[in-house]
Chain A
Amino acid sequence: MRVNGVEEKLDVEPWVSLLDALRERLGVTGPKKGCDQGACGACTVLADGMRINACLALAVQYADKEITTIEGVTPHPLQEAFVRHDGFQCGYCTPGQICSAIAMLDEYAAGMPSAVSDGAPQLTEAEIRERMSGNLCRCGAYNGIVDAIKEVAG
C-alpha cells in the first residue's frame, strides 16, 4: 500500500480496518476515529483521490491503492484557511474535514451532482454544507469550515 507517497509494507490480518492499520500499525494518527461506523467522517482519507471512510474499509481491500491522509496533503491552503476562519475548536474532526473538503472541491470541479443541486455553477454555502454533511463537528465549527472552503474555492 502506498501511504502519503511512501510504499509501506503492511502485514495485517484481513479483519483490520484501513483506519486501524494507519493509526495503530503505521502510526499515522491524522485520520481520527469518532464512531467506527461510518457515521461521523472523522476518519476520512483519500483513496486514489476519492474520499472514503477508512473505518469501514478493510485494509486488505485497499492494498493496491494510494492512500492520502492529512499528513500527506500538508501543506495545503485549506489548512491555513481553517486556522484563519477558526474552522475548528477541539481539532478532532479537523483532519477529516480537510481531507473531505479537498476531495469535495475536486468532485465539484468534475461536475459531480449533489442533493442540493445538479452541478450548480456556483459553489454556494448550501452546496458546500450538503457536500460536507458527512463530516460531523460536535464543536459546531461549521460556519468557519464553510468560510475556509469558500475562500480556498475562490
Chain B
Amino acid sequence: MTTTYAERTATEKYVGRPVDRLDGPAKTTGEARYAAEHRYPDLAYAALVHATVARGRITAIDTAAARAVPGVIEVLTHENAPAMKPFKVSLLDPLGAMASGTSVNYLATDEVHWNGQPVAVVVAETHEAARHAASLVRPAYQELPAVVDFSAEEPNATPQKRSMLLESEADKGDAKAALAAAPVSVDLRFTTPPHNHNAIEPHATTAAWNGDHLTVHEATQGIPWVRKQLALRFGVPERNIRVLSPFVGGGFGGKGPIWAGTLLAVLAARATGRPVRLALTRAGVYHTVGGRTPSTQRVALGADEDGRLTALIHTSVARTGRVGGWQEQITSASRHLYAAPNIHLRQHLVQLDLLPNTPMRAPGESIGSFALESAVDELAWELGMDPIELRMRNEPERNPVDGKRFARRFLREAYALGAERFGWKERDPRPGAMRDGRWLVGMGVATAYHPAMHMPVSAAVRLSADGGVVVRCAMAEIGVGAATVQAQIAADELGVPLEAVRVESGDSELPLGAMAGGSTQTASVAASVLAACRKLKQSALALARRSPDSPLRGRRLSDLEARDGGLFRGGSGETYAAILTRAGRDHLESEIKPGMLGLVGPLRDRMRWVKAACGAQFCEVRVDRDTGEVRVSRWLGVFDVGRVINAKLVASQLRGGIVMGIGLALSEETLIDPRTGRIVNASLGEYHVPVHADIPRIDVHWLDEPDPTMPLGLVGVGEVGITGVGAAVANAVRHATGRRIADLPITLDKLL
C-alpha cells in the first residue's frame, strides 16, 4: 500500500464545487426513512425497564401487572430470556473492543452495573402498551456498594494504558524543573462535565428474524460492527445478517458502538418470533448509551519574558466504566501545538460503576483543547502579550514531542487570515474595556486541532452500458453528505456528469468497512472509490482495445482524458457506453478490498508523519453586566482541512462542530447524582443543547491546501470544528469580564 496519493481527480469538474446534497429532496420532503420508520405486518413494539440502583443484584422481578396489560406479548427478564453469547474481544480485531458499548450480557445476568441498565424488556402489540407495561414491572434489588462520584474518586486514578490507536503520555526534557525556573508561568486546574451526544433521532432498531436470517434497520455509524456483533452475540454467521442504515438522524459518536437497545430488540424479536421495533425514549438513550467522560485537567506553562515557552505540563483524569468504556486522548493537542523544549503529558483514569463513556465528537481534543488553550490565553495575560502573538512565537517547525514532520501545517496562515477577517485589531486588550449598552464585549481566540487518519475500507464502482455509474459502499450517512462527496469524486475521476452517478450506501450487502467515526470516513472511502474508478477505467480501456474498431486501440490510460462519459484524446475516443455495448457487456464493476492489511499503510504513515486538521477559532461574546448571561455574538473560524471536496458540506460540518462547541462552552452538562449514579437531567428540556437563538452567524473559511499524505489531499472535517471552541469562548469571557472560568460550562452563576 503506498502512502503517496494523487492529489487530484482526473477532471476537476465537481470536486471543489459546492454541490447540493444529493439526498436533499429525500430529507426535506420526509421521504427519507430512518430506523424506526420501516413497516412490517405483524410488527411488535418493545420497551425497556431500567434499573434504579447503581449496583446490585436483582432478587426478584414482578412482571404480573405488566403481563396483565392488554396487548402485552412477552416480558423478558433474566429469568426467562433466551441467552445471548457473551461479549468477547478478539485479539485479531483490536477495534472490535470498541464495537460493543459495554461488556454486559443483558438479561443473562441478575447483576446491575449501573443506574439505568436495562433489566427487562416488554414486547407488546402497540408502542403505548409496551411502554405502559414497562412502567409496571417491579424489580427488587439487593444493593451493593457502588463507586459513582467522579471527583471523590479522582485521587485513586491510575495511569491510562498505552494504545496503538491513541496518543498518550509523553516526556521531553524536564518540564517540572523548567516550570519552577520559568520567569513567567501559569498553573491552572480545569474541570469539564460529562456530556451526551443528543442526536435528535433517539437510537432505534427494527429487527426481523426469518429462520436464522436476520434483518435489522438500525441507526448506526458503523454497519460492519453491528453485523459482526450481532453475529457473535446471536451465534449466526455474518452473512445471515443484513443491516440497513441508509439514514441516521445524527450520531456524533453515540451511534458508533452497539448498545443495549440494538441487542435487546434483536433478542426480543427472536424470543417472540415477531418483527420488533425498539425506539428508545430520550431518557432511555441517556440510560443506555454512554456519553463523554468528565475530566479534570492541569495545565502549567512556563515561559521566558518574550513569551517563548520553556515548559508545558498537561495532565488529565477521566473515567471509564467498570463494564467497558473508552479512553480518550485528552492531552493530545499538547503533543502538537507548541514548541516547548520541556513537555510532560500524562493521562489518568478512574473506573466507576456507571454506564461506560464513549467517544463523542472529538473525544479528548474537544475538552483537552479547552484546558490547553485557556491556559495559553492566561499566559498571554500574564505576559501582557497578544494571545495570537504568543501562539505564533511558539509555533513549532516539527512535532514538539518527537520531532516528526508535519504532513502540512498552516496555522500561521489561519491566524493571519482570521485576525484580518475578524477585525482582531479592533480589540482593546484591556479587560472589560469594550462595551455595548448593558453588555460587556470580549474577544477570544483558540487553536483547533484534530488528528487526521484514514482506514482501509471496501468500495465498488459499477459502470453500466447505459452510461450510469453506481458507487457502492456500506458507509453511514449521519449527516456529512457522504454520498454527495463520493459521487463528486467518482464523477470527476470517470469523467461523467454528476447526474449519472448514483450512490448506494447504508446496507451491509454492499462492500463493507466504512465507519463514520474519528473523521475518517470521507478520506477512507474516497481512497477506495478513487482506486476503484481507476481500475474501472483500465478495464474499460482493456475492453476497448480488444476491438479493432475502437479508436482507443493502442492507447494507454495515461494518454487519455476521462470526460464526456468516456475516455478521449483530443477529438477521438469513446464513451464507456459505447465500449460496453460493443463488447456486449451490460456493466463493468471493480471493487477495492483492502482488508486488515490495509491498516499497515495508515499505521506506518502515523509513524512517519503528523497529520491533522487544525484552525484558528475567533469568538466574540457579550456578557450582561447585571446578570452574567453570556451570549456568543460573532464567530469566525479559519481551518486547514486539506482539500475541500464540497464547500457547502465542509462549511456545514465545521459550523456544526462549532455549534456543539458553543453548547460545551456555555450550557451542556450531564448531571450524574453522586449519591446514586443516576442521570438527573435525562431530557432535552433539562440538558441544554444550543437552540437557534444561541447561535450567531458563523463565518468559516479554509485554506484549501491539499494534504500530500491523504487520499485526494483531503482531511476529515467532522471533529476539528468543535475543538478550541470551549477555550475561545472562555478566553472571550476572560477579556470581557477579567474572569478566568476554568470549569465548564460557563454558566452565569460562575460569573456573578
User: Considering the chains assembled together, what is the distance between the CA atoms of A20 and B480 in angstroms?
Assistant: 29
Q: Per a CB cutoff under 8 Å, which of B23, B30, B655 touches A143?
A: B655
Between A and B, 13 residue pairs with Cβ closer than 8 Å are: A20-B128, A37-B683, A42-B200, A71-B29, A71-B30, A89-B481, A130-B693, A133-B691, A135-B692, A136-B691, A137-B200, A139-B250, A142-B692
> In the docked arrangement, what's the CA distance between A16 and B132, Å?
12
A91 and B479 form a contact (CB under 8 A): yes
Q: Which residues of B contact A16 (CB under 8 A)?
A: 126, 128
The reply to whether the CB of B674 lies closer than 8 angstroms to some CB of chain A is no
CB pair B693 A33 closer than 8 Å: no
- Give A13's nearest chain B residue, CB to CB: B128
In the assembled complex, A35 has its CB within 8 A of some CB on chain B: yes
Verify B684–A140 contact, CB threshold 8 A. Answer: no
How many Å from the CB of A135 to the closest CB on chain B? Answer: 7
Chain A positions within 8 Å of B, measured between CB atoms, are 13, 15-16, 20, 23-24, 27, 29-40, 42, 69-71, 74-75, 79-80, 82-84, 86, 88-95, 98, 125-126, 128-130, 132-146
Q: Is the CB of B684 within 8 A of A35?
A: yes
Interface residues of B in 8-38 (CB under 8 A from A): 20-21, 23-30, 32-34, 36-37
Nearest B-chain residue to A116, judged by Cβ:
B693
Is B478's CB within 8 Å of the partner chain A?
yes
CB distance from B705 to the nearest CB of A (A): 23
Residue contact A138 to B250, C-beta cutoff 8 Å = yes
Q: Which of A36, A71, A145 contacts B281 (CB 8 A)?
A: A36
Choice from A34, A88, A90, A129 contacting B248 with Cβ under 8 Å: A90
Closest partner residue, chain A, to B197 (CB atom): A138
Residues of B692-722 at the interface with A, using a CB-CB cut-off of 8 Å, are 692-693, 695, 697-698
Residue of B28, B251, B659, B684 touching A98 (CB-CB under 8 A): B28
Residue in chain B with minimal CB distance to A23 = B37
Which one of A74, A84, A90, A129 lies within 8 Å of B201 (CB-CB)?
A: A90
A61 to B685, CA, bound (A): 24
Q: Determine whether the beta carbon of B249 is less than 8 Å from that of A79.
A: no
User: Which B429-461 residues sit within 8 Å CB-CB of chain A?
Assistant: none
Knowing A30-B29, A140-B658, the reply to whether A92 touches B201 (Cβ < 8 A) is yes
User: Per-residue 0/1 for B635-649: is the Cβ within 8 Å of any A Cβ (1 yes, 0 no)?
Assistant: 000000000000011
**B628 in the interface, Cβ–Cβ < 8 Å?**
no
Which of the residues B21, B200, B248 comes within 8 Å of A86, measured between beta carbons?
A: B21
Closest to A148 in B: B28
Q: Which residue from chain B places its CB closest to the CB of A90 in the assembled complex? A: B479
Q: How far is the CA of A93 from the CA of B36 in the complex (A)?
A: 15
Cα A10 to Cα B28 with chains together (Å): 26
Are the C-beta atoms of B684 and A37 separated by less than 8 Å?
A: yes
Alpha-carbon distance A141/B28, docked complex (angstroms): 13
A103 to chain B: closest CB distance in Å?
15
The answer to whether B28 and A88 touch across the interface, beta carbons within 8 angstroms, is yes
Contact of B30 among A29, A34, A137, A138 (CB under 8 A): A29
B199 within 8 A of A: yes
Docked complex Cα distance between A74 and B364 (Å) = 43
Q: Does B657 contact A (CB under 8 A)?
A: yes
Decide yes or no: A79 and B250 within 8 Å by CB, A37-B684, A92-B200 being known contacts. Answer: no
Residues of chain B within 8 A (CB-CB) of A37 are: 282, 683-685
Known interface pairs A91-B249, A92-B200, A136-B684; 11 further A-B residue pairs with C-beta atoms within 8 A, sorted by A's residue number? A30-B29, A34-B282, A39-B282, A74-B29, A82-B28, A83-B21, A89-B481, A92-B34, A133-B691, A133-B692, A133-B693
Alpha-carbon distance A85/B254, docked complex (angstroms): 27
Judge whether B198 is part of the interface by a CB distance below 8 angstroms.
yes
Bound-state Cα–Cα, A16 to B200, Å: 22
Contact A139 to B28, CB < 8 A, known contacts A91-B247, A145-B692: no
Rounded to whole Å, the gap between the CB of A74 and the closest CB of chain B is 5
Verify A125–B697 contact, CB threshold 8 A.
yes
Partner of B249 from the list A30, A32, A83, A144 (CB cut-off 8 Å) is A32
**Pairwise interchain contact A144-B684, C-beta atoms closer than 8 A:** no
Determine the distance from Cα of A136 to Cα of B695 in the docked complex, in whole angstroms: 11
Whether the pair B659, A142 counts as a contact (CB closer than 8 A) is yes
Q: Determine the chain B residues whose CB is within 8 A of the CB of A125 once the complex forms.
A: 697
Docked complex Cα distance between A129 and B481 (Å): 25
Q: Is B651 an interface residue (CB 8 A)?
A: yes
Minimum C-beta distance from A129 to chain B (A): 4
Q: Distance (Å) between the CB of A93 and the closest chain B CB?
A: 5
Let me know if B652 is at the binding interface, CB within 8 A.
yes
Q: Is B689 an interface residue (CB 8 A)?
A: yes
- Cα separation A27 to B40 with both chains bound (whole Å): 11
Contacts of A128 in B (CB 8 A): 692
Q: Is the CB of B128 within 8 A of A140?
A: no
Q: B27 contacts which of A29, A40, A71, A91 (Cβ < 8 Å)? A: A91
Assess whether B535 is interfacial by the CB under 8 Å rule.
no
Query: CB-CB < 8 A to A95: which residues of B?
Result: 28, 30
- On whether A136 and B689 interact (CB within 8 A), knowing A90-B479, A92-B34, the answer reads yes
A141–B684 touching, CB < 8 Å: no
> Are A90 and B199 in contact, with the CB atoms below 8 A?
yes
Chain B residues with CB under 8 A of A140:
655-660, 690, 695
In angstroms, Cα B30 to Cα A82, docked, is 13
Docked pose: A70 CA to B126 CA in angstroms: 24
Does B202 sit within 8 A of A, measured CB to CB?
yes
Q: What residues of chain A lie closer than 8 Å to B692, measured between beta carbons?
A: 128-130, 132-133, 135, 137, 142, 145-146
Interface centre among A95, A98, A130, A143 (most CB of B within 10 A): A143
Instruction: A36 to B682: give the CA distance in the assembly, Å.
Output: 13
B39 close to chain A: CB less than 8 A = yes
Query: Are A129 and B24 in contact (CB-based, < 8 A)?
Result: no
CA distance A141 to B282 in the complex (A): 21
**Beta-carbon nearest neighbor of A75 in chain B:** B29
Q: Does B659 lie within 8 Å of A90, measured CB to CB?
A: no
A27–B39 CB distance below 8 A: yes
Per the bound structure, the CA–CA distance linking A141 and B692 in Å amounts to 9
| Most-contacted residue by chain A among B28, B279, B658, B683 (CB, 10 A) | B28
Interface 0/1 of B452-487, CB less than 8 Å to A: 000000000000000000000000011111000000
B278 to chain A, nearest CB (A): 13
**Which A residues are CB-close (under 8 A) to B198?**
138
| A140 and B657 alpha carbons, distance in the complex (Å) | 7
Cross-chain contact A40 with B693 (CB below 8 angstroms): no
A34 and B200 within 8 A (CB): yes
Chain A residues with Cβ under 8 A from B656's Cβ?
A: 89, 139-141
The residue in chain B whose Cβ has the minimal distance to the Cβ of A27 is B39
Residues of A within 8 Å of B32, CB to CB, are 91
The interface residues of chain A lying within 8 Å CB-to-CB of B126 are 16, 24
Q: Which residues of B contact A132 (CB under 8 A)?
A: 692
Residues of B within 8 A of A91 (CB): 23, 26-28, 32, 247, 249, 479
Chain A residue at smallest Cβ distance from B29 = A74
* B366 → chain A closest CB, angstroms: 14
In the complex, the chain B residue whose C-beta lies closest to that of A130 is: B693
* Bound complex: CA A134 to CA B655 (Å): 20
Q: A29 and B37: CB pair below 8 A?
A: yes
Q: Which residue of B lies closest to A145 (CB)?
A: B692
Query: In the assembled complex, how far is the CB of residue B657 from the closest CB belonging to chain A, in whole angstroms?
Result: 7
Q: What is the CB-to-nearest-CB distance from B651 to chain A, in angstroms, rounded to a whole number? A: 7
Shortest C-beta distance, A115 to chain B (Å), equals 9
In the complex, residue of chain A having the shortest beta-carbon distance to the beta carbon of B26:
A91
Expressed in whole angstroms, the Cα–Cα distance for A4 and B724 within the complex equals 46
Alpha-carbon separation in the docked complex, A144 to B653 (Å): 12
C-alpha gap A88/B21 in the complex (Å)? 10
Contact indicator A94/B689 (Cβ below 8 Å): no
Judged by a CB distance under 8 angstroms, whether B252 is at the interface is yes
Closest 10 interchain pairs by CB?
A: A30-B30, A140-B659, A92-B249, A91-B27, A89-B479, A90-B479, A83-B24, A140-B656, A70-B30, A39-B684
**Does B322 have its Cβ within 8 Å of any Cβ on chain A?**
no
Residue B172 lies at the interface, judged by CB distance under 8 Å to chain A: no
Closest to B45 in A: A24
CA separation between A143 and B637, bound complex, in Å? 14
Contact with A along B650-678 (1 / 0, CB 8 A): 01110111111000000000000000000
